[in-house]
Amino acid sequence: MPHAIQIHDQGAPDVMKWVEVPDLQPGPGEALLRQTAVGLNYIDVYQRSGGYKLDLPSCIGMEGVGIVDAIGEGVEGVQVGDRVGYVMGPPGSYAEQRVYPAERLIPLPEDVSDTQAAGMLLKGLTVSYLIHRTFNPQAGDTVLFHAAAGGVGMIACQWLKQRGVTVVGTVGSDEKAEIAKNYGCDHPIIYTRENFSERVMELTDGEGVPVVYDGVGASVHDGSLACLARFGTYVNFGAASGHIPPVAGTALASRSLYFTRPGLAPHTATSDLTLEIANYLFDAVREGVKVEINHNYDLRNAVEAHRALEARETTGSTVFSI
């Protein structure tokens, strides 16, 4: 019988258990995947810990890669034997088998490996929509990207640098500052030692930046607003340090700032939307953006991986092998 990680309660990492589960069969419009690799993302922590409520017992995880083993009635465009990936819900990627809506599967190019795809699809598609749809910075712009040495940040720094953008990034240590710099961050700021908003204002001669990309949340909220230029955009796309407080209109008015809280789900709601940002990503990788798989765990060791992620001991992408 196949195995999966399941949770019967939400809480600390040790609520995750490696258990036998029944064989799956695809229903109409679905494909059965024999999974080969699964990506670890912070949204998995929210699902496990209770940040997002789930009907229990439940599997977790939102990103995987595998081979199509069977297809259900009415499936078009996907065949048995195809190598595919997927991102977003419903939760359930921490498993050896997975049934998933066929129309939302992403065909993988031959020049992208299973491990590489599992380490970059959710993070890379996040960067893709952030810099193509949410706020599209131009060559010569200076932007602030929080958590520049994380999986999303390392892809973003390289991609923005490709486009001629100057990147200021926050990091938590000297080691992470060096990593961020090696991946395109022009000005890493160690936020534990330096006021990042004051440093941004220094780097921009008091002007501020036109956009802040924030996947960290509560701990950087006030500083992010403080270092935006007139008519700047605050993009909050995550909450690694907790959810930000409600944004009052009065906090935006003096500089006519814009606030947005985008998510990956609407940007992958249809096949066309998904393939558009996926093709941007695959092209960027071909042009030199590297996806670093710095941590690889067996899926049954998910508890250890979650502990490392929450302790901010990871850099780049983490992948589970199956």
Instruction: Look at the block and give the residue holding tokens 């993988």.
Output: 108
Tallying the residues shown for the chain, one arrives at 322
- Cα gap 186→180, rounded to integer Å: 8
DSSP result, 167-184: EEEEESSHHHHHHHHHTT
| Buried b or exposed e, range 126-150, using 16+ CB within 10 angstroms | bbbbbbeebbebeeebbbbbbbbbb
- Cα gap 248→256, rounded to integer Å: 12
pTM: 0.88
Cβ burial, residue 1 (10 Å; 0-12/13-18/19+): exposed
Torsion sign (Cα): 195, 196, 198, 203? positive
Greater confidence (148 vs 316) lies with 148
**Model confidence band, residue 250 (pLDDT cutoffs 50, 70, 90):** confident
Which tens digits make up the pLDDT trace of 154-200?
999 999 999 999 999 999 999 999 999 999 999 999 999 999 999 99
- Coil, strand, or helix at residue 56? coil
- Cα gap 302→221, rounded to integer Å: 30
pLDDT at 194: 95
Instruction: Look at the block and give the residue holding tokens 């001991």.
Output: 313
Domains in the chain, CATH or no CATH each: 3-121+268-321 (3.90.180.10), 139-260 (3.40.50.720)
